[in-house]
Amino acid sequence: MASSNLQTRPIGALYTGGTFGMIPSERGYVPSLDLPGRAEAALADRTHPPIHWLDPETGPPITSSDITPAFWHQLATVIRRHAGDYAGFVVIHGTDTLAFTGSALSFLLADLDRPVVVTGARAPLGEPNSDATDNFLAGLHAAASEHNDEVGLVFGGQLLRANRASKRFGAPRAPFTSPHAAPLATFDETLLWHDEPPAPKVALPAVHRRDARVAMLPVYPGIMGATLRAVRDSGADALLLEAYPASVGPGADADFVQAIREITANGTVVAAVSQNQYGSVHLGRYASSTPLAEAGLIGGADMTREAALTKLHYLLCAEVAYDRITELFSSNLRGELTPT
Ligand code: ASP
């Protein structure tokens, strides 16, 4: 379905940094401070909804390698505060952690009845072959659409469900993939919605803290139980393992299994997503993974690591009890996983 009825209420645009607005300096690319004016000038001859720039209240624009979980909460707070005044929101952000921020917002703003679109660029606005203007334009149209109240990620003419997107296995010219969910829409001057079912809207608890720490580490030949204990002892409130695509982890290593048992017995969640972007975690499919499940490891089905990490962070910040976290982590809250 093509959607061109742009609402008259403005789109709230938030510039947080990233390549999109960068300029060269003697020390390498740095975020510019005058991006809003330049971005609007670049759209002068394109049809777009009215734009109103909002201060994201996250400090000066940054490269997205400096994004922290506290930043996600601040962004969500600002968007929520302004929700009544805007048709939707576009967040300009670096691409390296864009899928983490988009996923985090999908949980933190699960009850919002407005579209939020995160986007960035491969090359800075104004440079030859920059995709910044096109991505911004597509983001504005997606944020203006009444068709949608999800958090989306716009890139290269596609609107992806943000908590299904990942930059991890992308190609240089198409950095984001969404291996388990088709694009919600495509954009070529107008937005063409696909017939994807909307994400569920489950009532989710509000957050009470912002400082939950989720540690993530891959499973690899030789990983030790001691490594898991050390990560837990570093102050992590939950551990997310990137597990082997089929057999999950070393279920025959008694100390590794024991480490999971000890950690979960103390109320620290240990969860797993697949190392394969097309994969899904199936605990118990191979007998070797059964001891891991028995020790308390929970599977994240086909979630991206970005969705899994931010979902754990959100659930911990909502102070959800351990048993309920293990249940909700494997449930489809906002379109982030395919229920089995
Ligand atoms: N350095 C950039 C960042 O902020 C990369 C990008 O935006 O594409 O993530």
Ligand 1 atom closest to Cα of residue 17: 4
Q: Of the residues 15, 29, 95, which should be mutated to test ligand 1's pocket, given the most ligand atoms within 8 Å of the CB?
A: 95
**Known active-site residue 19:** yes
CA–CA gap between residue 321 and residue 323 (Å, rounded): 6
Which two structure tokens, joined as six digits, stand for 260? 């999971």
Catalytic residue from among 8, 16, 19, 190: 19
Give residue 6's pLDDT.
Answer: 56
- Per-residue pLDDT, 170: 87
pLDDT at 173: 86
E-strand stretches of 120-249 = 151-155, 158-161, 185-188, 190-193, 214-218, 238-243
CB-ligand 1 contact for 95 (6 Å cutoff): yes
**Per-residue confidence (pLDDT) for residue 1, from 0 to 100:** 55
> Which residue's alpha carbon is at the smallest distance from atom 8 of ligand 1?
95
Q: Please report, in tens digits, the pLDDT of each residue of the chain (340 residues total).
A: 555 455 578 999 999 999 999 999 999 999 999 999 999 999 999 999 999 999 999 999 999 999 999 999 999 999 999 999 999 999 999 999 999 999 999 999 999 999 999 999 999 999 999 999 999 999 999 999 988 899 999 999 999 999 999 998 888 889 999 999 999 999 998 999 999 999 998 889 999 999 999 999 999 999 999 999 999 999 999 999 999 999 999 999 999 999 999 999 999 999 999 999 999 999 999 999 999 999 999 999 999 999 999 999 999 999 999 999 999 999 999 999 998 7
Q: Give yes or no for a contact between 23 and 117, defined as CB atoms under 8 angstroms apart.
A: no
Distance from the CA of 29 to the center of ligand 1, in angstroms? Answer: 10
Residue 123 alpha carbon to ligand 1 centre in Å: 9
Domains of the chain in start order, with CATH, are 11-193 (3.40.50.1170), 214-329 (3.40.50.40)
Find tokens 């716009």 and name the residue.
154
Cα of 30 from ligand 1 centre, angstroms: 10
Pocket of ligand 1, candidates 25, 35, 63: which has the most ligand atoms within 8 Å of its Cβ, to mutate? 63
Q: Sheet containing 269-274: which strands, arranged edge to edge?
A: 214-218, 238-243, 269-274, 298-299
CA 58, CA 135: separation in Å to the nearest integer? Answer: 22
Q: Determine the straight-line distance between the first and last CA of the chain, rounded to whole angstroms.
A: 29
Q: Is the CB of 31 under 6 A from ligand 1?
A: no
Distance CA 12, CA 270 (A): 38
pLDDT at 89: 98
pLDDT for position 339: 87
Burial class of residue 128 in the structure, from the number of CB atoms within 10 Å of its CB (0-12 exposed, 13-18 middle, 19+ buried): exposed
Closest ligand 1 atom to residue 29 Cα is: 1
Whose CA is closest to 337, among 304, 312, 313, 309?
Answer: 304
Regarding the beta carbon of 64 and ligand 1, being less than 6 Å apart is answered yes
Residue 284's pLDDT is: 93
